[in-house]
Structure 1
Amino acid sequence: MTFKTDFLWGGATAANQLEGAYDIDGKGLSVADAMPGGKERLAILASPEFDWTIDTEHFTYPNHDGIDHYHHFKEDIALFAEMGFKAYRFSVAWSRIFPKGDETTPNEKGLLFYDQLIDECLKYRIEPVITISHYEMPLNLAKSYGGWKNRELIEFYVRFAKVLLERYQDKVKYWMTFNEINSATFFSGLSQGLVPSNGGDDKTNVFKAWHNQFVASAQAVKFGHDLNKNLKLGCMSIYSTTYSFDANPVNQLATQESICQGPSK
């Protein structure tokens, strides 16, 4: 089997997983910054008491440091090139560009970081693939607006997307509006900013949030296509392959349910 010469072979990261530098150069807090480390982290976010407060006295937050990609991206990209990567999918930290999410003017220091990151990729002929939103909405939008169930977030997101599309249209061809938009099926905390304390345990809010995200995604895609006909824009869904233990109908049905409900089940 052979691949076409233009096949994009590469890897992917998320800003909240590796950048670190969570509170410098004007970056605001994101929902990911409020998620503690450890195997119980999702249970903590799903608890009725959780209110998006960062509690460093009782929990650690590994993503605050990540691998310090923010300061070592040149070394990291050089390693990607050494591995033969032809594409690098990464996300832009929304709160690095709009610290609270509802500002009208972007943070230029945050944009300068992505200017350099993209140029570094291109230096090695690595195709940058940008995810506009990857589980890192500004914390203020979750706390003050109630997350994606609030229709006002459409305007905030589209403003953010437009800034990126306009700035990088000549350097970045491939775009994703949302990472794993369907992940709210099993957990809406990071993807929608919804936890029980702000209505995340009500499926009505989850579906309202989805509707608003779909509208925001569609508006961003339309803007991108109108801006530059060469841009390729889409959205990403999560899918985890699952196999039954055996042919027992009970296990077969359980497998179907797990696929519908998500990997956490």
Structure 2
Amino acid sequence: MKKFKDGFLWGGACAANQCEGAWDKDGKGLSIIDVLSIEEHNRDHVTLELREGVNYPSHKGNQFYERYKEDIALLAEMGVTCFRLSISWSRIFPNGDDEQPNELGLQFYENVFKECRKYGIEPLVTLSHCEMPLNLTKKYKGWANRKCIDFFVRYAVTCFERYKDLVKYWITFNEINFIFNTGYLYQNGGVNLEDGDNKKELIYQVAHNQLLANARCVIESQRIIPGSYCNASLSATICYPRTCDPLDYYESIVDMNEYQYGFLDVMCDGEYNYQWLNTIEKEQLHIETEPEDFVILRKGIGNYIPFSYYFSGISRDRSNSSRGDRTKNNDNPYLTKNDWGFIIDPDGLRNTCEVFYSRYRKPLFIVENGMAKQEELIDGTVHDDYRIEYLRNHIRSLHEAVDDGCDVMGYTTWAPIDLISQGGGIMSKRYGFIYVDLNDDGSGTGKRYKKDSFYWYKKVIETNGEEL
């Protein structure tokens, strides 16, 4: 088989709102996740105020803000060559529409990136990972308002200019297509859904505004950091036909056009696909655009495809008019599920690479892939053979895609260190190679412990994926 290329980037991925904590330190403003209580996760209408006696998971995270040097040293010990992490927008521009950035926030991330560089670790940096300044939601209704485009581009340019000598790999928006799923019009789009809102119209408006912002950021990244990589990331959920019925095959095409290609066609080719345009026309969705938007979209084409992969899906039951939440539409009789109800489909990673690379011919980067489990620390470690088996099978599948000729740049697991989950705001949904002694209520020492998978992944990296 062909080997993973020299310089292939191996690592792990995390997000600011899930790991940093320090929600009110050093001039940081409130983000939409700072007011998302553990009870309100997976909702598109939430209480936008802090309340006494309520658990807000982002306020503590896994203490990365205070312990980043320790955590990066552990990653270096594991041998990672890439660390994906995100910047909290409200650390840089506390209200989102500020004229000047917060220097303490800029300095924090400069310190983090320099710490990575000290160990030869490439930072892969996301500008917006399921968070934005709360003020933009309250004042402008988040990404439903075109004004957020200019605010975001100003934030991105500030980061590009400040970190141009430290960061080469950029992601604008994490899993930009996840707004189709329940709870993520708020988390990804900053839209607090109200009675009377046309949710589908808002989804398409948010998508357009973010795709336009992404294109402008791609243009700016190439101007400021020649040779850099920049694009939004996608939640890759390849859709198989429910049966061999031609109508079920048709439904799988419709799903892929809406949830995958509807975004990738714009990000990689600069054009909306026919199905999106037809949906907007037939359902009479009013989407605010300007003629110049489409010129910018054609100019600001991303130069790689970063995507997360956890599970595959199947086409909807045609007796149900709703396409539903992609995280739940996956009852495949040929595959098993994990403890959280997600399909385990290693071959789906190879299938996804084949489809994306054959369609767009751009290098691929798997920026999230992992397995969650409730775990117990025993004698200072966790024996997580199940995680090793899961990752082994997915890396093997990725290797097959490389052997088929797909150009793959790197692979970062979610997440190298236990953190609070995006879906439920809990610590007990653990993904890491490193166990963090914190509980769902925030209690615990915060001490880090290496799991068995830590040593396994170290060997994978040392051998560039040859020993699994």
Post-superposition offset of 1:105:
0.2
Match of 2:285 in 1: none
Match of 2:205 in 1: 208
User: 1:46 aligned to 40, 44, 53, which one?
Assistant: 44
Match of 1:7 in 2: 8
TM-score, with structure 2 as normaliser = 0.52
User: 1:171 aligned to 151, 166, 171, which one?
Assistant: 166
Give runs of aligned pairs for residues 82-231 of structure 1, distance below 5 A.
Answer: 82-186=77-181, 187-197=184-194, 202-231=199-228
135-144 vs 253-262, which moves further: 253-262
Match of 1:17 in 2: 18
Q: Is the 8 A contact 2:84 2:125 kept in 1?
A: yes
Distance in 2 (CA, whole Å) between partners of 1:199 and 1:115 is: 44
Post-superposition offset of 1:243:
7.3
Match of 1:75 in 2: 70
Distance in 2 (CA, whole Å) between partners of 1:123 and 1:198 is: 51
1:26 and 2:41 matched: no
Aligned partner of residue 115 in structure 1, secondary structure: helix
Q: Is the 8 A contact 1:199 1:205 kept in 2?
A: no
Distance in 1 (CA, whole Å) between partners of 2:236 and 2:216 is: 25
7 and 103 in structure 1: CA distance in 2 versus 1, 3 angstrom threshold: same
Distance in 1 (CA, whole Å) between partners of 2:142 and 2:57 is: 23
Between the aligned residues of both structures, percent identity stands at 42
Q: Is the 8 A contact 2:44 2:191 kept in 1?
A: no
160 and 64 in structure 1: CA distance in 2 versus 1, 3 angstrom threshold: same
19 and 199 in structure 1: CA distance in 2 versus 1, 3 angstrom threshold: farther
Q: Give the letter aligned to residue 55 of structure 1.
A: R
Q: Give the letter aligned to residue 55 of structure 2.
A: T
Post-superposition offset of 1:4:
2.2
Distance in 1 (CA, whole Å) between partners of 2:8 and 2:36 is: 36
Distance in 2 (CA, whole Å) between partners of 1:146 and 1:97 is: 20
Distance in 2 (CA, whole Å) between partners of 1:132 and 1:14 is: 10
Distance in 2 (CA, whole Å) between partners of 1:206 and 1:247 is: 29
51 and 72 in structure 1: CA distance in 2 versus 1, 3 angstrom threshold: same
Structure with more of its chain in helix, by fraction? 1
Aligned partner of residue 151 in structure 2, secondary structure: helix
Distance in 2 (CA, whole Å) between partners of 1:51 and 1:66 is: 20
Distance in 2 (CA, whole Å) between partners of 1:142 and 1:234 is: 24
1:262 and 2:320 matched: no
Q: Give the letter aligned to residue 211 of structure 2.
A: F
Largest Rg, 1 or 2: 2
Post-superposition offset of 1:194:
1.2
Match of 2:376 in 1: none
Q: Is the 8 A contact 1:146 1:198 kept in 2?
A: no
Aligned partner of residue 206 in structure 1, secondary structure: helix
Distance in 2 (CA, whole Å) between partners of 1:152 and 1:85 is: 39
Distance in 2 (CA, whole Å) between partners of 1:35 and 1:248 is: 43
Post-superposition offset of 1:210:
1.1
List per-residue Cα deviations over 1:69-124 (Å, max 9, x = no partner).
11110000001111111100110000000000000100000011001000000001
Match of 2:332 in 1: none
Alignment size in residue pairs? 258
Post-superposition offset of 1:146:
0.5
Q: Give the letter aligned to residue 85 of structure 1.
A: V
Post-superposition offset of 1:29:
0.6
The higher relative CO (CA closer than 8 Å, separation ≥ 6) is in: 1
Q: CA RMSD in A?
A: 2.5
Q: Give the letter aligned to residue 327 of structure 2.
A: P
Q: Is the 8 A contact 1:189 1:200 kept in 2?
A: no
78 and 242 in structure 1: CA distance in 2 versus 1, 3 angstrom threshold: farther
Q: Is the 8 A contact 1:12 1:88 kept in 2?
A: yes
Q: Is the 8 A contact 1:183 1:238 kept in 2?
A: yes
Post-superposition offset of 1:264:
4.9
